[in-house]
Structure 1
Amino acid sequence: MTDRITVEELAELMKKSAGVTVAPDELRQQDTAFATLGVDSLGLLGIVGELENRYGTPMPPDAERSKTPRQFLDLVNSALMTGA
Structure 2
Amino acid sequence: MTEVEIEYCVPCGMLGRAQDIQQDILEEFGEEVDRVALVTGDAGVFEVRANDEVVFDKEADEFDRAAIVDGVRSHVGATA
Relative to the length of structure 1, the TM-score reads 0.35
Higher-strand-fraction structure: 2
Higher-helix-fraction structure: 1
Relative to the length of structure 2, the TM-score reads 0.36
The one of the two structures with greater contact order (alpha-carbon pairs below 8 A, sep at least 6) is 2
